[in-house]
Copies of this chain bind each other. A is one copy, B any other.
């Protein structure tokens, strides 16, 4: 029965996608503005639905952090609307023709940017993703099928119903957005194999969710990622700059994938740098330092690091600290333990900077800047669907372009292959 429902949603999304392909940018923007307006108009209805989810969460003893992510407020709904207004202002990437060239036989060959088609998004208990994912998919001409967590089901239903009405009132098929309301494991598993109707699947959430989707999906997946991000403080670093950058990357916001989780310090810089960093951190926020043996002697407040600390994404006020004796050792350590997200070197040595940029394997590699900049807005894309840590299709912060593909268009005048 679940499968019949999925089939139906899939078929409708595919039909919608065909209509969306050719939708004019002005109509897309009109819908985005209307949806934003409607979210504001119907805030009370959405808050009421959300209150039911939150009450259920509290009854179940949901942890504080999750409850916070689940909870909507008037301000948060205003933020969702703001996101859609912003999207309406961005350039529409669909329709551009890239690299059109004439071949020796007279064929004119170019690549036209087109929507991906039907985009599936699987996420957890953050109802704001619902409006956000719709906006990004719709601006790029894609139909979206959302599968949110059961904890946020009433909030998601209210938001989706609101946006589907906005679509209809602009004369666009409401099937541009659908929500899978059956939140069972079986339905999730079947959704991940709906290749006929879904072109791409994007998981948004924790490491467990992403692992499940990567392992189970037969639909191509864009893996958004966990970040075990490192900063390496080179012998030649400006130590005050290094302390500022590490403090920023660790404490400016801890629960995010581009926060720094591990610090490497060159042996000849450690004695001067580590006490300086400890003092800088102490002024900002308490951070538990988990240090290797040599660093421990320079950090009175630290605790000994365990072997599994080097591979951890804490998402907390915790930082692992290790002393290395060369740039090569730092690079080897990072390439072994990182999650291919964001890595930084702090140095004044030109050759070391270039070597680090060349040899580190990650979506974003920094010299003398905080890893916290790995973000679609900070990179100037005006929007973000996630940060890809895989190598296919998109790597690093994904803006609107990541939700498009190309097709070759070829103008001939009778060419046949000899």
Contacts and interface: CB of A to CB of B under 8 A. Distances in A.
Interface of A: 18, 21-22, 101, 103, 107, 109, 111-112, 116-117, 195, 199-200, 214-215, 218, 220-223, 238, 241, 244-245, 247-249, 252, 335, 353, 357-359, 361-370, 372-374, 378-380, 390-393, 395-396, 405-417
A363 B362 CA distance: 30
B244 A416 contact: yes
Given A21-B358, A22-B358, A393-B393, A410 B221 contact: no
A165 B416 CA distance: 42
Contacts of A220: 220-221, 223, 390-392
Copies in the complex: 2
A229 B387 CA distance: 36
A372 B359 CA distance: 41
8 pairs of A and B residues whose beta carbons are closest in the complex: A369-B412, A248-B416, A372-B417, A364-B408, A393-B393, A391-B405, A392-B393, A369-B415
A409 B365 contact: yes
A386 to B, nearest CB: 14
Contact of A408 (B214, B359, B363): B363
Given A116-B392, A248-B416, 6 more contacts: A21-B361, A107-B369, A220-B221, A220-B223, A365-B407, A369-B411
B361 A391 contact: no
A387 to B, nearest CB: 10
Nearest to A244: B416
A365 B380 CA distance: 33
Nearest to A360: B407
Given A241-B414, A368-B414, A407-B365, A107 B373 contact: yes
Contacts of A380: 101, 103, 109
Contact of A199 (B391, B414, B415): B391
Nearest to A369: B412
Contacts of A200: 391-392
Contacts of A18: 335, 359, 361
Nearest to A365: B409
Contacts of A367: 410-412
Contacts of A252: 416-417
